[in-house]
Amino acid sequence: MAKKITNLLIFLPLGIILIIFCVANRQVVTLAFNPFRPEDQALSLSAPLFVFIFIALIIGILLGSAATWLNQAKYRKRVRIEAMEAARWQAEADRHKTRAEEIAGQLPSR
52, pLDDT greater than 70: yes
Residue 72 falls in which region: left (phi positive, over 0), alpha (psi -120 to 50) or beta: alpha
| Mean predicted confidence (pLDDT) in 46-57 | 91
Contact present, 46 and 30 (Cβ < 8 Å)? yes
Distance CA 78, CA 76 (A): 5
Which of 3-17, 78-92, 95-109 tops mean pLDDT? 78-92
Contact present, 24 and 6 (Cβ < 8 Å)? no
108, pLDDT greater than 90: no
Distance CA 86, CA 80 (A): 10
Is 46 in a helix, a strand, or coil? strand
Other C-beta atoms closer than 10 Å to the C-beta of 93 total 10
Is this model's pTM higher than 0.85 or not? no
| Mean predicted confidence (pLDDT) in 35-63 | 89
Contact present, 48 and 25 (Cβ < 8 Å)? yes
107, pLDDT greater than 90: no
Distance CA 63, CA 26 (A): 26
Tens-digit pLDDT profile for residues 31-41: 888 888 878 88
106, pLDDT greater than 90: no
What is the average pLDDT value for the chain, to the nearest integer? 90
Torsion angle in degrees (nearest 10) through CA of 88, 89, 92, 96: -170
